Amino acid sequence: MGSKVKGFRTEKDSIGEISVPKNAYFGAQTQRAVENFKIGWPFDFSLIIPYIIIKKCAAKTNFSQKKLSKKISDAIIFACNDILNNPEKYSDEFPIPVFQTGSGTQTNMNVNEVVANKANEKLGGRLGKYEYVHPNDHVNMSQSTNDTFPTATLIGAVLAVEDNLIPALKILSNSLNKKSKKFKKIIKVGRTHLQDATPITLGQEFSGYESMISNDLKRIESAMKECTDLPIGGTAVGTGLNTLEGYDDLMVSFISEETGIDFNVCKNKFELLSSQNAISNLSSQIRICSGSLNKIANDIRWLACGPMAGIGELILPSNEPGSSIMPGKVNPTQCEAVNMVYAQIIGNDNTISYSGANGNFQLNTYRPIIAFSIHESISLLAEVAESFSNNAVEGLKADEKKIKENLDKSLMLVTALAPEIGYEKSAEIAKKALKENITLKESAKSLGYLSEQDFDNLVKPEEMVSPKKV
């Protein structure tokens, strides 16, 4: 779009004249922001979409309240629909970096200018002249950056969780559940403190993983619900200046209709304009869930380590060559991707937490980085959850021979003896077996505590993975 077209036009704003790319839909204020904030990178387009939805719904609301003519309202709605339906066409029209003014004014005006110019074009006007539709007077009518930016952030977060994160976590949960059922009868060594412990089934181990993700999903859904309360209509400081009574209700009803999600007017706009607690809570739950996935990934890569000189109880799918120098090597690449995503999400959560706590009076001036960070966390967790499910969990196999070997060597089977011969004698059996590199059965017989038959009657791994039946 604009940046790809040679030539410039001259626009004038309250500061003076400035050159803008000739065919760009953005205008003077966007151009000044591009020149003044050469810091970092622009917002992902998915963060622009909620803002376009707000402008569309504002045009509908202002027309409904007779503040905007049908001609101008229809032109704004047309412009918004064209952007929403053809995002690739407008990919260069939103160039402002995340690191801008803390309120997000530059992004709001960027959106206002693009929508206004597209609406003017529809009505036969010229780019940058705003003969029919003005960015502030019409597109931004009844709004402020201070209520639209937090509203856009909340809408964007809810849409991303609903459309991307929840489905991805359900895919992962289902994959873990399938493995839990498939591995149900495979008895293996349990491990605590990275040391051998009493037996567990591989299915039980994976059931724990599935439960972690399922419960994390519930917490994320609950946090997402809190984000459906919107501060739109608060305008500059929460008072609703320059709006008509009922504007907020109409806006929220139109936003709900547009998105298919049940949004509500928040109970206190002063809170949501100055506080970012709802987003901070969502971010925390995403961090917790990514931590669960990190623990699962670490367990799996440890259980798959080797394969010959390690634990080797799990076999990872061979998705790609693991080494540039060692032929035939298979590395836990999906697990490591999970580890890195977790590290990034921790950083994003810290950013959001710090930013949310540093608002002043009626405004939080960290909004753009909060919006960027929550979106990145949602996207990363969704993508890595689905990737880990499809490329690691689904193709995961159990090496039952290795699992049996490790189980048979485990000294913690001795725990089954404690109720019969006592803790002290059981410990003595285990220590002797370890010291002399003999089996528990041989140790118990040598010490004269149990016969081979008595040992076999007491030490049954299949009876050690659940409470004893009464």
Q: What CATH number did the domain enclosing 258 receive? A: 1.20.200.10
- Whether residues 79 and 158 fall in one domain: no
Q: In Å, what is the CA distance from 20 to each residue of 32, 214, 295, 338?
A: 9, 51, 51, 43
- Whether residues 348 and 234 fall in one domain: yes
- Whether residues 180 and 69 fall in one domain: no
- Whether residues 198 and 264 fall in one domain: yes
Measured distance CA(399)–CA(281) in Å, rounded: 41
Measured distance CA(169)–CA(218) in Å, rounded: 10
Q: Is 323 in the active site? A: yes
How many domains, the chain?
3
| Cβ-contact 456, 439 below 8 angstroms | no
Q: Which domain holds residue 433?
A: 410-463
- Whether residues 350 and 210 fall in one domain: yes
- Whether residues 241 and 336 fall in one domain: yes
Measured distance CA(352)–CA(265) in Å, rounded: 23
Q: Check 14, 193, 324, 466 and give the catalytic one.
A: 193
Is pTM beyond 0.75? Reply is yes
- Whether residues 94 and 233 fall in one domain: no
- 277: in domain: yes
Boundary residue ending a domain (354, 376, 401)? 401
- Whether residues 235 and 281 fall in one domain: yes
- 470: in domain: no
- 468: in domain: no
- Whether residues 380 and 428 fall in one domain: no
- 469: in domain: no
Nearest Cα to 172, choosing from 202, 203, 204, 216? 216
- 77: in domain: yes
User: Per-residue confidence of the chain (470 residues) as pLDDT tens digits?
Assistant: 444 456 999 998 889 999 999 999 999 999 999 999 999 999 999 999 999 999 999 999 999 999 999 999 999 999 999 999 999 999 999 999 999 999 999 999 999 999 999 999 999 999 999 999 999 999 999 999 999 999 999 999 999 999 999 999 999 999 999 999 999 999 999 999 999 999 999 999 999 999 999 999 999 999 999 999 999 999 999 999 999 999 999 999 999 999 999 999 999 999 999 999 999 999 999 999 999 999 999 999 999 999 889 999 999 998 888 777 888 888 999 999 999 999 999 999 999 999 999 999 999 999 999 999 999 999 999 999 999 999 999 999 999 999 999 999 999 999 999 999 999 999 999 999 999 999 999 999 999 999 999 999 999 999 999 998 88
Residue 110 CB contacts under 8 Å (≥ 6 apart), including other chains? 26, 29, 30, 33, 93, 94, 95, 96
- The reported pLDDT for the residue numbered 3 is 45
- 10: in domain: yes
Boundary residue ending a domain (107, 123, 141)? 141
- Whether residues 61 and 183 fall in one domain: no
The helix/strand/coil state of 467 is: coil
Q: Check 69, 318, 323, 451 and give the catalytic one.
A: 323
- Whether residues 192 and 302 fall in one domain: yes
pLDDT tens by residue, 417-433: 999 999 999 999 999 99
Q: Is 134 in the active site? A: no
- 106: in domain: yes
Q: Domain with 442 in it: what CATH number?
A: 1.10.40.30
Boundary residue ending a domain (95, 119, 141)? 141
Measured distance CA(453)–CA(469) in Å, rounded: 22
Nearest-10 Cα torsion for 59, 65, 66, 70: 30
| Cβ-contact 397, 315 below 8 angstroms | yes
- Whether residues 348 and 304 fall in one domain: yes
